Structure 1
Amino acid sequence: LLLHFFQKIYYSFSSQLSQRSVLLQQMENHLGDKKTEKTSQTQAADAAYKRNAALLNDIEAAEKRLQARVHLQPHPDIVKHETLYWASVEESIPKWEQFLLGRAQTQWEVGRNQTESQPN
């Protein structure tokens, strides 16, 4: 009878120990899976950070190249109009030279003075 009692206790203890061992193994597996998942997420986040940093560097480099081109090469229409403007200025210099030197009136002032001096 006592032997039978100890056998029951032993089997009960063995069963509980076995269940605990299975549960412990399941928890260790779960923890391992979580660590693997976290490592994978960390690696993915690091890779995304590096990709984003590389993209940002590429965008900043492209922006600098565009700014340099904008400052170095004006739009062709602007160059055309600047050229026409300065050609016009150079063409007008002889007409304005005496006025700019303070030796004569402008053509408009001369025309206005002549109009004012004529009788109606």
Structure 2
Amino acid sequence: MTSLFVQEIRLSKRHEEIVSQRLMLLQQMENKFGNQNTEKASQLQAAETAFKRNLSLLKDIEEAEQSLQSRIHRLPRPEVVSLETRYWASVEEYIPKWEQFLLGRAPYPIGVENQNEAENTIQREAQ
């Protein structure tokens, strides 16, 4: 009978060890699960913050793009448009004369006085 009593005491101690280990493992699992939940919440918060930051950056980029586009497509002042129009009309008027001169089929298109002046300028620049 003593041996049964000793065996029951040993089994009772073993049972207490097992229950103690079980409680310790349950506590560790609970801590780990709590840490995982905290980490997930932190990651979700970080993702939400990054999403908001990215939206803000995207908005800033779009505003900068619109600002640059408006600068690029500004219409020039009327004086500039007038000068450009007169310049190109002048160019179109003199193209046939200069074309014949450059092909060697006609004399200097502006006049003999200007031709000598132009040749002198070219010679001075070459020296």
By the TM > 0.5 criterion, same fold? Answer: yes
Query: Secondary structure, in 3 states, of the residue corresponding to 1:17?
Result: helix
* Cα pair distance change 1:114/1:47, threshold 3 Å: closer
Count matched residues. Answer: 106
What are the superposed Cα offsets for residues 7-45 of structure 1, whole Å, 9 maximum, x if unpaired? 211111110011111000000000000100000111111
Q: Alignment RMSD, CA only?
A: 3.3
Q: Distance in 2 between matches of 1:19 and 1:97?
A: 105
Unaligned runs of 5+ in 1: none
Deviations 1:75-107 (A, max 9, x none): xxx98xx547435335657x829927x9x957x
When normalised by structure 1's length, the TM-score is 0.68
Deviation, 1:72, is: 1.0
Does residue 49 of structure 2 align to residue 51 of structure 1?
Answer: yes
Of all paired residues, the percent bearing the same amino acid is 4
Structure 2: where are the runs of 5+ without partners? 99-107, 117-127
Distance 1:9 1:45, change over 3 A: same
Describe the SS at the equivalent of 1:73: helix
Matched, 1:110 2:105: no
Change (3 A) 1:6 1:98: closer
Separation (CA, whole Å) in 2 of partners of 1:112 and 1:29 = 108
Using the size of structure 2 for normalisation, the TM-score is 0.65
Distance 1:31 1:113, change over 3 A: same
Residue 88 (1) aligns with residue 88 (2): no
